[in-house]
């Protein structure tokens, strides 16, 4: 008799991601994609870096005017990011 040890591919991938601490890197890549989808070209061109760490998304911008405008939209941006990510990943957004 043949013994089978079947697992769903999704479960195996989740285990690999968790065991190798790849979750934050994958989340960071998704956040970068979402930023490009949400923002206009002038904002994207003035964005130098996006950093996700400890449930905080820090967005580095070269324009103080854009930084100030986006600061008013923090809560809406947080909702949009979390909706697109499918879970409550981002608790705080900072602009620098």
Written as tens digits, the pLDDT of the chain (96 aa) is 555 666 777 776 666 656 655 566 778 889 999 999 999 999 999 999 999 998 999 999 999 999 999 999 999 999 999 999 998 999 999 999
Structural domain boundaries, residue 90: 9-95
Whether 33 maps to a domain, the answer reads yes
Whether 15 maps to a domain, the answer reads yes
Q: Which of 10, 7, 16, 69 is nearest to 43 (CA)?
A: 69
pLDDT for 9: 73
Whether 72 maps to a domain, the answer reads yes
Query: SS3 for 52?
Result: strand
Whether 82 maps to a domain, the answer reads yes
pLDDT for 20: 57
Whether 31 maps to a domain, the answer reads yes
Whether 52 maps to a domain, the answer reads yes
CATH of the domain at 57: 3.30.300
Whether 4 maps to a domain, the answer reads no
Total tally of structural domains belonging to the chain: 1
How far apart CA 51 and CA 32 sit, in angstroms, is 9
């Amino acid at each position: 008799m043949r013994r089978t040890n079947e697992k769903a591919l999704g479960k195996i991938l989740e285990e690999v991601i968790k065991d190798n601490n790849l979750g934050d890197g994958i989340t960071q890549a998704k956040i970068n994609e979402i930023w490009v989808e949400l923002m206009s070209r002038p904002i994207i061109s003035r964005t130098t870096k996006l950093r996700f760490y400890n449930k905080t998304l820090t967005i580095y911008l070269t324009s103080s005017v854009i930084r100030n405008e986006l600061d008013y939209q923090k809560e809406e941006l947080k909702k949009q990011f979390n909706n697109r990510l499918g879970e409550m990943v981002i608790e705080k957004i900072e602009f620098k």
